[in-house]
Chains A and B, each alone.
Chain A
Amino acid sequence: MKLLSIDTFYVIAGVFLLLVAGRTAMDQNHPKRWGSAFFWALLAMPFIFGNILPPIVTGYLVLGLVLLAATGQVAQSRELSTTRTERAASAERLKNNLFWPALLIPGTAVLGTLLLSKVHFGDVRLLDPANLTVTAVSLGALVALATGLRVTGARPLIAIGEGSRLLQAIGWALILPQLLAALGGIFAQAGVGSVVAGLVTRTLPVQFPFVAVLAYCTGMALFTMCLGNAFAAFPVITLGVGLPFVVQQHGGNPAIMAAIGMLSGYCGTLMTPMAANFNIVPVMLLELTDKNAVIKAQLPIGLTILAVNILLMYFCVYRF
């Protein structure tokens, strides 16, 4: 039994999504009033009723969300926030008090992870130990919201409105990371991994120790770029390439192989639009005109770290 389980926060998020849907439906100047309202209302369902709805219903619901987005029915509202002059005046008035709520999010997350996770009354726990980081950050967001309302003296409806404006700025890209994780699950169920691994090993001369390392690190990066997630690529490429060739054939150290291999996968994450939450969501959040601006900034970084990783693994994995 836990007092603040992750499900509580799912319901809170779902209710917020419903409020956004309601606001959108009332907004007569909205360019895609009904489509957008329907999208946010549909998305609220898996958050509020996720544990009760049969997966097949959620599946069709997701299909509905995707079709609404693909047919251009989801758009941003034309609502305006305050002007720059108003904001500057407000900043002058509130000064550094504005930072406290923003810092409370990570602050509560840290405190929650380190201390609140230990708090329990008998069997009743305060935080959900299974989803500690996510629950702690969610709690932090709500604590920050309460403090923010106090500091600014604004009504809660203002916060809902501003949150709605930001949410609509992100738009359908919000659910992309979650959908990609679902795609990873389907790939795993279909056995895509073993096919890819077989292909890599058939086409490359992995009998050379360096080629084995090169194939493993590059494979991790490339497959991560395809799937958008290094965690999904890791079992596939490690069991297909890393373990049989780097470790078993050439006697490499499995810890070094795995650690540097995973980090090579992260290099791939820096270079792919499939890693939407890292590379595409920020494009929307930061209002960049070039959809690939973040990836372009990260391309030299990813390639450099990957190259050094390959050398690092080659010089260490067969030695320690």
Chain B
Amino acid sequence: MIKLIGILVVAAGFALRFNTLLVVVAAGIATGLVAGMSFTEIMDLFGKYFVENRYITLPVVLILPVIGLLERHGLRERAETLIKRTRTATAGRVLLLYTAVRQISIALGVKVGDHAGTVRPLVAPMAEAAAHARHGDLPEKTMENIRAHAAAAENVGNFFGEDTIFAVGAVFLMKGILQAQGVKVSEWALSFWGIPTAFVAFGTMWWRTRALDRRIARAAGLKHKKEGGP
């Protein structure tokens, strides 16, 4: 039981709004100590796993210079111009389309986007531009809500497309863990049973992006004349 102290530290640390990095390290140290490790051993493990997991941070660091460069030269402004030309675009539709593209491409084993490389420079400005083209200037709170949903579209598309058609990391992880327990499953069965949830996720995004469009319209003090709206 006492080994759960790390989870307690995390919960308390977040509730008290301590620095997140500090909370994480404190949780690790507390857990290690109650499990009978010495402080040196814990630092050793932190070092070992930090180096092993460098690949998580690597793409973000390498992508930033080119994204910064393109932004400096008007990438976001250009994306906005393009979206403003298409009349049917709404912020919600732009984001729903991105979710679909993300789900389908990652199901084929291809990663086409992420927060630093795609959402910040392209998807979020396009969604904001669509809202702006329709409703003119909107309060900053609404614009932030659109950007938050752009991040959500990226996450949902990423998570719920991945485990479907192509065998990927998560599928191998599941197979490996079950196999170690003597339970045999095929990669194909694991991928197949990810498909229903992929559709559920898309349906849920459809609902949320429509809700977003309605919220934007309300913020703009406008009513959808053509669509009638529910």
Contact = CB atoms under 8 A, between A and B. Distances in A.
A90 B71 CA distance: 10
Interface in A297-313: 297-298, 300-301, 304-305, 308-309, 312
Interface residues of A, number: 145
Contact of B64 (A81, A166, A254, A308): A166
Contact of A266 (B11, B20, B44, B160): B160
Nearest to A294: B151
B16 interface: no
Contact of A148 (B6, B25, B70): B70
A243 interface: yes
A59 B200 contact: no
B32 interface: yes
Interface stretch (B47-55, B86-94, B131-139, B219-227): B47-55
B27 interface: yes
Interface in A165-220: 165-167, 170, 172-187, 189-192, 195-196, 199
B60 interface: yes
A57 interface: yes
B142 to A, nearest CB: 12
Contacts of A196: 4
Interface in B7-42: 7, 10-11, 14, 18-22, 24-25, 27-28, 31-32, 34-35, 37, 40, 42
A148 B71 CA distance: 11
Interface in A1-48: 6, 9-10, 12-13, 16-17, 46-47
B35 A179 contact: no
A317 to B, nearest CB: 9
Contacts of B14: 273
A286 interface: yes
A254 B207 CA distance: 31
Nearest to A7: B54
A145 B53 contact: no
B4 A178 contact: no
Contacts of B110: 106, 109-110, 113-114
B97 interface: no
A54 to B, nearest CB: 8
A159 B65 CA distance: 5
Main secondary structure of the interface of A (DSSP, over half): helix
Given A226-B10, A270-B155, A234 B177 contact: yes
Interface string B109-142: 1111101111111101000000000000000000
B64 A163 contact: yes
A119 interface: no
B210 interface: no
Contact of A167 (B47, B52, B64, B159): B64
A131 B111 contact: no
Contacts of A16: 61-62, 65
Interface in B174-189: 174, 177-178, 181, 183, 185-186, 189
A179 B26 CA distance: 12
Contacts of B1: 195, 199
Interface string B141-170: 000110111111011101110010000001
Complex A-B, nearest 7 residue pairs according to Cβ-Cβ distance, in ascending order: A162-B68, A91-B74, A163-B65, A58-B47, A59-B43, A59-B47, A190-B35
Interface of B: 1, 3-4, 6-7, 10-11, 14, 18-22, 24-25, 27-28, 31-32, 34-35, 37, 40, 42-78, 81, 109-113, 115-122, 124, 144-145, 147-152, 154-156, 158-160, 163, 170, 173-174, 177-178, 181, 183, 185-186, 189-194, 196-197, 200-201, 204-205, 207-208
Given A98-B70, A239-B177, 14 more contacts: A46-B54, A47-B58, A58-B47, A137-B62, A159-B65, A166-B64, A166-B67, A172-B19, A184-B49, A199-B4, A231-B170, A282-B115, A283-B148, A301-B201
